[in-house]
Structures are given as structure tokens and as C-alpha cells.
Structure 1
Amino acid sequence: MPSFDSRNVAVLVGNGLSIAFNPDLNLRAITAEMMDRIQSATDEGNDVVAAMREIAQRALPQGVNSEDDFEMLVGAFGAETRTLSYLDQLAALTEPKKKKLRKAIKRVAAFAERVRDTGLSHVLEVIFERSVSNHEDARNLHAFVEAVTTTFDGKVVFANLNYDTLLLAALLHVCQSDVTDMGHGFRKVRVTTRTGEETEVPALRATASDFPVGRRVQLIHLHGSVTFWSNAPKTIFAKLDRAFLESHDQWNSVREQKTNIRPVVVLANQKDKSAHVEEHPFKLAYEMFVTGLQNADHWLVVGYSFKDDPVNAKLREEFAEREEKPKVLVVTFGDQPSRKEVARAFGWGKEDGSSKSWLTINRDGANGIQNTDDWSDFIA
């Protein structure tokens, strides 16, 4: 059990937080919009468009019916690429002299990559366009962020599972001089824009030592962000701000293959997520998340469904190490997930007795949580 000189908190944020402060980021609505854009796409080339539509139709043959359909759709775009990568590795081992076979696999894999990038560009473009709040919602989000960052005067680590920029904007508004994210403060990388020009943009941090010690508030994107980009060989990792994405029409740049970078995010089904998060920059994000959990005796979970296996694994591992359990407040909206499901995600079973000694669940949503009795009990 670590020694706490200050009040530290680890905050895990899921899609429920984004929805609470911008209903347009509801996953069902996003998925429906994505399907509409995929079906009406005309600008990427006939073969790519046809393949993209076929994948979407195969993933959701009955259309959009639930929030779970988002993961089904985005996971489908990456599945073929990963399969072809395994085929290439297998061919190299079993038929190393058959150059034509290897060449054919690589050609198909390159096409699959383009289909993937095109599909995901539509996914992230929708999220990017909706990553804004009206004045009232933004003010409420700022109030929540201010409550968290002022109540806890030690290290505050936000581990964000969302791809949107709502939380980033709120943190910059509330505590800009005290916050750091995964974008490097001074190291730059060069990327190609739609016009063919090269320009310098901030790099993503490469190691934990890249994070400045003096900034007590950290924002970690566990599964990436609309602002995270890399080149195909994964030798360049960049952070592109909203102004860059808008001014360079970056989403169309991807679809038209007029940029050397593409989004780097974990948009995958549950089966593939565990492999994705072992890659950079997600591996670093999970490392920082675990450090945040280890150094805090208060864990705040907001708008998370407890359905991500890699995330649950880290929660369980650190929770199991604690002789004295952390104080946990889970903020959700409605009846799901149940107390049993939440406790089980932390590795707490029936044989361990009641979870009420360490776990509080508030089911009224994130908006205004700082004004509730559950919050007062959590921070006491």
C-alpha cells in the first residue's frame, strides 16, 4: 500500500461522461450517422467504397439497434487487416521461397488497410464533429472537472476511454497551467498535409519519463483520440489539434491518400483489443493508468460500462494488491451495470462479503455529481 502525502485520485472515464455533457455523442446515434455516411460515400474509389459498404452490411445486417453496434462496426474494419497480417507471417514461415504468394498477400493487405483507414476516417470524423458542447453543457462539465481537480490536491490522473476532445477542452479551460496530456510539450515530428507540404506538429510522448513532473493533472487516452495519428510504419506518432484537423481537411486527406499519417486508435472488438493495447501509444497509456491507480486511495469511475477486458484486468490486478481497499465511487446512469457486475470487475466475489465498505454507486449520471451526498461521502 503506497503512502499518500497528498490526496490523489485516479479517474476512469467512459462514454457516459461524454453523453452526460453532450447527448450527440451517444454511441447509437454515432453508429447510425456512420452507416449513413458509408452508404452515401462516393469519393474514395469504387473498390474501396464497395468493400467498406460490404463490411458495414455484414457487421450490422439488421441496421443499428443498440450502443453495442458501435463496437461491432468499428471492430469489423480492423479484423481483416489483422488476419492478413497473420497470413503474411505464416507464409513467411511455411513458404519463404514463394515470393508471388507473399506479394499477393501484401497487395491484398494494402487494400484492406486502405478500406480500414477509410472506414475509420468516417467513424472519427463523426466523433470529431460532435466533440463540442453548448454553453450550458460546457459549463456543467467545467464544474465537474473543477470539483475533481480542486478537491484532490495531489496527483489527478484522468484515464479517458473516449476518442472525443470534450474532457481535454474542459481541463484546458479549468487548469491549463497544471495539466498535461500525451502530446509532447516541445518535441516535434514532421507530417505531410493534403497539399503535399511538410509541417511540424507535436509528437506523442514515448515513455513515462516524458511526462513533466511538475504538472499534477494528467490526461491519458487509453484507446487513443481523434487527435492521435501515426504513419504506416509506426515510426512517427503525432498529436494533431482541432485547428490542424479542420484547416487541413484531415479526414478527406486520409480517404484520398494525400497524407502520410492516419488515425491511431483502438477501434476494435473485444477479442482484438487485448492485442491492440500492447502497442504504442496505448501500452504507455495503460502504464500511466496503472501508476495512477497505484498512487491513489480514491478511484472515481464515470460513465464506464465495465465491458472492456483490458481495462477490467488492470482494475482487478491493482485492487487485488491492496490490503486496504481504495475508496471507489462509480457514477452511471440507470440500472446498469449492476452492483454485482461492478464488484466482479474489481475481482470481488460473493465469498468476499458486502462491497458496500469500499464501493458506492451513484445512478443519477455525471452531470452534477459533485453536488450529491455520494460525492461528499467519497471525498470525506
Structure 2
Amino acid sequence: MSDLSVLVGNGLSVAYNPELNLASITQEMLERVEREGDAGSDVLRAMKEIARRALPEGATTDDDFEIIVGAFGSETRTLGYLGELATLTSPADEDLKAALDRVTTFAEQVRDAGISRVLEIIFERSKMRHSDASGLFRLLRAIVGKFDGRVTFANLNYDTLLLAALIHLYRDSLADMAQGNRSGSVTTDGVRYNVPPLRRRGDLPDERRLRLLHLHGSLTYWTNRERTGFVKLDRSFLQTHSQWVAVREGQTNVRPVVVLANQRDKQAHVEDFPFSLAYEMFAASIAETNRWLIVGYSFRDACVNDVMREQFRSRSDKPTVLVSTFGDSPSRREVEVALGWGAEDGDSSQRILFHRGGAFDLASSDEWSTFSA
């Protein structure tokens, strides 16, 4: 039996739909904020000002995505710290507490409005059409057909493309971070619905050899304000109940569970559930497998690189890594640095392989034949 760990970055989603490029999503977000920011709402005006300050020159690169989404979330976290500080230093000052509560509530409304719009754009652009998915299906069939043991997919994308493709091809062999029962619940527009909860432990069923982890959350992962209940809402639910609008209008008791943050704040986010559990299971997978396939990933996420570097450097017998990308980036040196391959390790070409023809052509490449032999 041969096992495989797969890390999937935004490049796979972009290969399916170029409009899932982060710069394109950011530009659309800015245009919507610009249009709606003149509507008179205090929240919309605040969003417009935050966007203007975060990206005064407009969206031009993928880096702008982290800047803009990080800007919508960082103020709320800062105000939370101020509230804790005020409670410690001036516990009897009710006026101060009320003022901070009011400002924090407004900041949360701005955050919800910003993040829901970003995810709504991704939701609109990531609808799976089987007629357009031949390349994605071909890639997954090659992976699952060649590696007949445990295959763990760690997905960095918020969209549902990989989930939908795996369900379409391998529904009975797949497990993700949601439980199969419907003991969770969500209330939207005054109606309570039973939905699957997220797992609290890494107890995915052994009989399902394909595993899907969302390291930074998903369009389908939601939680209540207290972060005491975590559930999965499928695309049909999100569409039927206009869940993005419900968030903005305060008509639902849950919010998306995603790591939409800049690099500075991301580490704090991934230490929280359910991201912490996904990272734990990803680390366990790459520690136990001798083949790592990395698809469409830029090697620029410090949190992800830290996990891979720790496992890579701790092994005297290094795993074989195949990096599937499109074009010259990332370079061999960038990957070596990210994984912790030092000058003392010599030539990396036998352990770190590259396919630069794009994910959907990977299965027919010489690099794949070498890697999967």
C-alpha cells in the first residue's frame, strides 16, 4: 500500500477558473465596495474607507488579497484586546465598557460585511461544472489510482471545487472534517435547521482512505458568535438561504470559519479550532508519508511552510517532493528555503522534483512517472 500527502494551493483553483486569481477577486471586491459605499450606510462607508487606506493604488497582485481581507479583520481583534485591557484596568467604568462594546459591535459589522463579500465572490466563481472539470478529474484519478493507500488532501482554498470533484468521483471513499450526522444546528431568518457539525478530534473513519482537510477553513465551515458550535453548510444551503446576505443583515446566528488574515495575524488564527486540528492532521500525514505532492502553491505562507519544514528537516531519509506549478515560480531555491534544505544537504534534484506545465497536465508528465513509480 502506498500513501500520499497532497497540499493544494490557489493555483489549482485558478487552473479551473482564472477568475479565482486572488488579484481578480480583490479587484472585484474593491469595485463592489466602491459602488455600494455611496449607498449611505455607515458600514459601507467604513468599508470603503478601509479599502482606500489598505490599497490606495488599487489591486494589482495576489499580495493585495491578504492586505485587504486582513484590514477588515484586524480592527476587531485590536478592539477585543482593548476591551480586555479596560476590564482589567478600569473594571468599574461602565461608560468606558459601553463605549468599547458599541465600537466593537460596529467593527464586527464591518468585518462581517467585508468578509462575507469576499467569500461571496469566491462562491460565485467556484461553481463546479462537470463539463469543464475534465482536467481536475484527470488529475484526481491519476493520484487516487496510483496511490492505493491513505491519500490526504490538505486544501488551502476556501472554495468547494476540490470537495465537489472528490465527492463526484469518490464519495464512498472520502472523509472530511465534518461528521456524517446532523446534530449541529444553524438558525437563519428565524428558522432552525439541523446540519452536520465539524469533528472535534482527528477521528476520521479508517475505512475511508481519502481525507480532505481545509487548513484555512472553507466556504462551508461556519460557527456561532461564541465559537462554541461549528457546522458545515453545503453549497445548496448557502445558495437557498442567501447566507452571505443573511450575515450582512444580521439574519443568521453563524459566521464563516476562515483564515482571512495577513501574514502578521495568521499565526494567531491557525492556533484556533478548527484550523489547529487541520494543521495537526496535516502534520501527522506528512510525517508518515514518503511522497509529498504540492500543487499550485506559492510557498509563501509562513504557517504552512513552518509545518512542512519541521517535518522535512526532522527526517534523515527525506521524503520525495513533487512540486506542480505553471511557469518558473516558485524557483528551486525558494522551495529549498521553505522546506529547510540546506547547502550541507547537497543537490536537491533527487528529492525535490518539479513539473512546470500546470496541474492538469501533470498526470501525463515524465515527472509524475518518476514520482509515482
Q: 1:329 to 1:280 in 2, by over 3 A?
A: same
8 Å contact kept, 1:171–1:179: yes
Deviations 1:106-129 (A, max 9, x none): 221111111001100100000001
Q: 1:235 to 1:273 in 2, by over 3 A?
A: same
2:368 match: 375
Query: Which whole-Å CA distance do the structure 2 matches of 1:95 and 1:364 have between them?
Result: 61
1:202 to 190, 196, 200: 196
1:67 to partner: Cα distance: 1.5
2:285 match: 292
Alignment coverage as a number of residue pairs: 373
1:1-380 equivalences in 2 (<5 Å)? 6-41=1-36, 46-194=41-189, 196-209=190-203, 211-380=204-373
Query: Which whole-Å CA distance do the structure 1 matches of 2:310 and 2:274 have between them?
Result: 21
Name the aligned partner's letter for residue 8 of structure 2.
Answer: V
Query: Which whole-Å CA distance do the structure 2 matches of 1:204 and 1:131 have between them?
Result: 22
8 Å contact kept, 1:319–1:326: yes
Query: Which whole-Å CA distance do the structure 2 matches of 1:341 and 1:161 have between them?
Result: 19
1:44 to partner: Cα distance: 8.8
Structure 1: gaps spanning 5 or more residues: 1-5
Query: Which whole-Å CA distance do the structure 2 matches of 1:66 and 1:232 have between them?
Result: 32
| Normalised TM-score (structure 1) | 0.95
Structure 2: gaps spanning 5 or more residues: none
8 Å contact kept, 1:201–1:240: yes
Query: Which whole-Å CA distance do the structure 1 matches of 2:361 and 2:186 have between them?
Result: 41
1:187 to partner: Cα distance: 4.2
Name the aligned partner's letter for residue 63 of structure 1.
Answer: G
Q: Secondary structure at the match of 2:168?
A: helix
Query: Which whole-Å CA distance do the structure 1 matches of 2:209 and 2:116 have between them?
Result: 33
1:133 to partner: Cα distance: 4.4
Moved more, 248-257 or 28-37: 28-37
8 Å contact kept, 2:128–2:164: no
Query: Which whole-Å CA distance do the structure 2 matches of 1:102 and 1:219 have between them?
Result: 43
8 Å contact kept, 2:38–2:45: no
8 Å contact kept, 1:44–1:256: no
Query: Which whole-Å CA distance do the structure 2 matches of 1:43 and 1:60 have between them?
Result: 18
Query: Which whole-Å CA distance do the structure 1 matches of 2:255 and 2:38 have between them?
Result: 17
8 Å contact kept, 1:122–1:251: yes
Query: Which whole-Å CA distance do the structure 2 matches of 1:136 and 1:324 have between them?
Result: 42
Q: Secondary structure at the match of 2:75?
A: helix
Query: Which whole-Å CA distance do the structure 2 matches of 1:206 and 1:53 have between them?
Result: 38
Query: Which whole-Å CA distance do the structure 2 matches of 1:357 and 1:64 have between them?
Result: 39
Q: Secondary structure at the match of 1:213?
A: coil
Query: Which whole-Å CA distance do the structure 2 matches of 1:38 and 1:319 have between them?
Result: 43
8 Å contact kept, 1:59–1:73: yes
Query: Which whole-Å CA distance do the structure 1 matches of 2:183 and 2:38 have between them?
Result: 32
Q: Secondary structure at the match of 1:185?
A: coil
8 Å contact kept, 2:6–2:295: yes
Query: Which whole-Å CA distance do the structure 1 matches of 2:128 and 2:238 have between them?
Result: 18
1:132 to partner: Cα distance: 2.3
**Moved segments of 4+, more than 6 Å:** 42-45
1:3 match: none
Deviations 1:239-273 (A, max 9, x none): 00011001001010011100001111000000000
Moved more, 86-95 or 232-241: 86-95
Query: Which whole-Å CA distance do the structure 2 matches of 1:257 and 1:44 have between them?
Result: 18
| Normalised TM-score (structure 2) | 0.97
Deviations 1:187-211 (A, max 9, x none): 42121112x11111111111112x1
8 Å contact kept, 2:182–2:194: no
Name the aligned partner's letter for residue 301 of structure 2.
Answer: D
1:350 to partner: Cα distance: 2.1
